Amino acid sequence: MMRAGLRGLTASVLLLATSAQAEVLTVEGVYPAGSDGAAAMRAIAVESFGGSDGPDLAIRIEDALRSVEIDGRPYFRVLPSASGGADGVLRGTATAEIKRERYTEQRERCVAKDANGKCTEKRKEDVRCTRRRIELVPNVRLIARDGALIHADSQLEQATDSRCEDNSSEQRSPETVVRELVGRIAGRLRSALAPAWRRDSIRVLEDRKGLSREDGDKFKNALRLTKTDAGAACRQWRAIADANPSHPATLFNIGLCDEAAGNLDAERIYQQVRPLTRAGNVGEGLERIAARRRAVRQLAAHAR
């Protein structure tokens, strides 16, 4: 099985569970880019973007792509738009728009107080307010060397805030908000174009129903061991499974042990467990493994 991108971590490291984690195993690995075609590229040229906020977006995307590392090595070569040798070219535009909407809110105010300062009469008053919506509309395209459209992104990003005449607090400047929106889009593009290393703490199943008292105690001990010695916990569950080959929680936890060790054949165990329990953890495990298998294919295509 291909191990590219797994940083050479051993099974013992992949099974790491710290004392701060309760009843979890740590699953680490490379997860896929949104676009198989983009992930296969080695060099991407970024053109100067048009629109009032296009240049800033182009720079942020360049920075995001340059920062991608898998197995400790840069994933892409990011080239100037005029350079040859690029597998694809990113081009686009981005323009921010500010929209304001006036409305009123009601406030209850004290209009009379007694000698002790206690409010004796209240009145509702209308207060004028302004709702501000800042929208950043990108139009980004990744074009392959042969002219094929590999990825497109025109999804609006927006931020909304309000300010009323009785509120003295300052709104963030439009420039600050737009920079935040630009960052969101750049992050989205990074996820779409390149795989990513991810670490998740996945909860084990804790249901001991169906086990004998003795095996239930062993199962409970295995849960405790996840905090200090995940490998021992996994060995305990395997021993329990010898006498209880159809116990859902035990089987799931064994599958999670395999997944945490980098063995994607854990898929087989999850499929075995799926008809035995309604726990959503099983479907999530299958989805993770499907994603990681896709990432393996992307890494293989990138290495060709």
Residues 229-259 pLDDT 10s: 999 999 999 999 999 999 999 999 999 999 9
pLDDT at residue 18 above 70?
no
Q: Which of these, 46, 21, 72, lies nearest to 229 by C-alpha position?
A: 21
Q: What is the pLDDT of residue 17?
A: 38
Share of the chain above pLDDT 70, in %: 92
Are residues 56 and 182 in contact, defined by beta-carbon separation less than 8 angstroms? yes
Q: Which of these, 237, 239, 263, 269, lies nearest to 250 by C-alpha position?
A: 237
pLDDT-derived band at 167 (thresholds 50, 70, 90) equals confident
Q: Which residue has the higher pLDDT, 19 or 127?
A: 127
Q: What is the pLDDT of residue 22?
A: 64
- Joined together, the tokens standing for residue 293 give 């298998």
pLDDT at residue 4 above 90?
no
Q: What is the pLDDT of residue 13?
A: 38
pLDDT at residue 168 above 80?
no
The pLDDT tens digits for 97-148 are 999 999 999 989 898 999 888 999 899 999 999 999 999 999 999 999 999 9
Mean pLDDT along residues 6-17 = 39
Mean pLDDT along residues 178-187 = 97
Q: Where are the alpha helices (DSSP H) in the chain?
A: 11-14, 36-39, 54-66, 174-193, 213-225, 230-243, 248-260, 266-273, 280-303
Are residues 89 and 22 in contact, defined by beta-carbon separation less than 8 angstroms? no
Question: Could you give the domains of the chain?
Answer: 11-32+197-303 (1.25.40.10), 34-193 (3.30.160)
pLDDT at residue 2 above 60?
no
pLDDT-derived band at 81 (thresholds 50, 70, 90) equals confident
In the chain, DSSP finds a helix count (H) and a strand count (E) of 9, 10
Mean pLDDT along residues 275-282 = 88
Distance CA 158, CA 155 (A): 10
pLDDT at residue 11 above 50?
no
Q: What is the pLDDT of residue 57?
A: 97
pLDDT at residue 21 above 90?
no
Q: Which of these, 138, 134, 132, lies nearest to 56 by C-alpha position?
A: 138
pLDDT at residue 15 above 60?
no
Q: How many residues are listed for the chain in this entry?
A: 304
By three-state DSSP, how is residue 276 classified? helix
Q: What is the pLDDT of residue 19?
A: 38
Q: What is the pLDDT of residue 1?
A: 38
- The amino acid occupying position 281 is N
Mean pLDDT along residues 69-80 = 94
Gyration radius from the chain CA atoms: 27
The DSSP letter of residue 52 is: T
Mean pLDDT along residues 190-200 = 97
Mean pLDDT along residues 279-286 = 91
pLDDT at residue 5 above 80?
no
Specify the DSSP element, H or E, that contains 109: strand 88-113
- Joined together, the tokens standing for residue 273 give 């467990």
Residue owning tokens 């920079």: 179
pLDDT-derived band at 171 (thresholds 50, 70, 90) equals confident
pLDDT at residue 16 above 90?
no
pLDDT at residue 10 above 50?
no
